[in-house]
Structure 1
Amino acid sequence: MKKNIDFKMRFADRIYKYCFNDGILTDDRVTAIWDSSCKVISKAMLCEIARWGDERGQPYDYEHWKEECKDVRDDLIGRAAKFVAETKKAGMYPDLDPPVFSNRSKVILKSIYNCPANFYVKISFLYPQPGTIFYTTDGTDPRMWDLTGNVSPTAIEVSGKETTIPIQQVTTIKARTKDGDTWSPLHEIKLIPSKTSPVVINEINYDSDSNFNTEDWVEIYNNSDADIVLDGWKLKDSNDDNVFEFSPATMLKQGSYLVVCFDTLAFKALFGSVENYTGNLGFKFGTEGDAVRIFDNDNSLVDIVEYNDQSPWPLSPAGKGPTLELANPDFDNALPESWKASIDFGSPGRINTMFTVMAVKDDHGIHKVPEIFTLSQNYPNPFNPTTIISYNLPKSSHVTLSVYNIAGQLIETLVNRQQRAGTYQVRWDARNISTGIYFFKIKAGDFQQARKMMVIK
């Protein structure tokens, strides 16, 4: 197999995919997975230690186990680089780097990248090296797979050392470097421009858990900078005969949510604190896949989501409790990659549990890595009903951002996930929160900080 040039290329492609950029075997990803696994079993280990002791039957304490976890974690760092070096030595990985993708001097590491509208991506070499860049935007490979290793007729050759491509729709770019008969591994990226729909389908509950049966509901979100009266607007599934008409008095304020329910009594019985809902729908959504569509008063299609219960769509919303949540209202909700399975039974009428932000750029559009951890004062403050909380991460960390009342009781957890270094913003919707003083607290690694804010209604 080592003499088969197509097999060797496939092998190198797989190594590059997993060991570079945001690959699963990169230091950040593999240590994050290890940390998460240790956290999951940490409480159980206390019981196991008390019961069994160590591998020799001798008792040892919890700190000993934590040190063992740290030793394994330290050993994981650098493993990908060592593996690449060994495969190069064995002649199974080329000594030729693929081109990189960037925007305004910022290299894009993700294989799926949610970018702003009117985005430009540059294809270039990260460091000076020999060779010519070839790329495609039609989903094909720049390299032929017929044991010749020739350039594909669909490939576009870059004149010089770089080129810039405008991204106006969802685009997959596949790029390689070729020097003589040697090809670099494949570097592939999927770019997803932001949507600009004023009303966005933001969350879908299409198959409730039998133990928490709210019946079907859909959450819509006003992603514009103006209030919208939904007089004459309609919500449909894939069947044009199934129509829900919004009442003439329905107002969707800017930055607000509205839940449309199949059965408002069933919904309210389990989500008693949610007030921004309407119904009843005269139809249910398909449990194996369907469409959710919104039309304005001119019968023009405003937004559509065609989901199903198969990968790459999240699987657990199909009868297991979670809902389908859009990671960010600015993401393209027509794409499965933009959706996540919610925590617990979803977040109707408020910010999604899996809300994801993109790192904030400076005035030149460049992502800058902060030098220190910081938690900024929310803005506006005081506020009603929403505010923005910003924080800086100088390195990849597991971040928890939570809101507490003056008595120290947890009100809501806004963030609970691993995040890369960068500057982040999270919107908190206090629409269902009483007037008063609240505290927001961040924990990122060893860094902790809290600030005070005030809700006024």
Structure 2
Amino acid sequence: MLKKMVLILMMLSIWTRIGNAQELYINEFLASNTACFPDENGEYDDWIEIYNADDQPVNIGGMYITDDLSDAIAWQIPDTDPNATTIPARGFLILWADKESEQGPLHVEIKLSGDGEQIGLFADDTTPIDTLTFGSQTTDISYGRLTDGGEEWGFFGYPSPGEGNENGELGIEEEEVTERIGFFLRQNYPNPMADRKQPGTAIGFYLPRAAKIDLSVYNATGQKVESLWKGWRPAGEGTVQWLPSEHHANGIYYYTLRYEEKLHTKRMLLLR
């Protein structure tokens, strides 16, 4: 009888742990980090943000993180420091994908590829909790859920590691952006692009001085679909047209302006 009670309690504990774990989400990540959010050692490493949507704290110690979904047990997160590996209710935790586990329990033995690959979080019994396959990424632009734990993903020119992804949205005032990064990327017009006869859109920007820029369009999976301008532009106002072809599917797209190693990103919608 005692053995049966112990077994039942153990099973309930496992079910509770797995149930809580199902409220964990890979919420945002940065696969090419050169100047955005250093770790505690001042190193700019790849990072993965995990969001706990549960009303209770969840300890991810003992769970597995991988960059290859065919290898669910690539790295087991240490369970020796629950203070470090416990995510508060409705909170966030950053894992450093730097293959430098000697630096602490949140430094994992995987690295992310900027060319695109996979991320998977698995329970300690290898039950999948959350998985993601992503495409090519851009340096210092993160990719994440547009709302914490939500279904829709997009790029963040202002990553928000350890914070709600609403804080990483790019809908801020022109004056604030210009003061912060020295240039400005305007919202495209028309948006959404819904006219079958004239499916194009104009993308405007302001440069305080002449410089080489890179203005590109990405789809919602992070793949570059078109380079609109790459080269020198004079100072002042500029406009570039994007004419999506019949091969571009309806949906959300992102356009990113890189100027003097700084970035600004906005979202647009294609409906036709």
* Structure with the larger RCO, 1 or 2 (CA within 8 Å, 6+ apart): 2
Normalising to structure 1: TM-score of the pair? 0.28
Normalising to structure 2: TM-score of the pair? 0.45
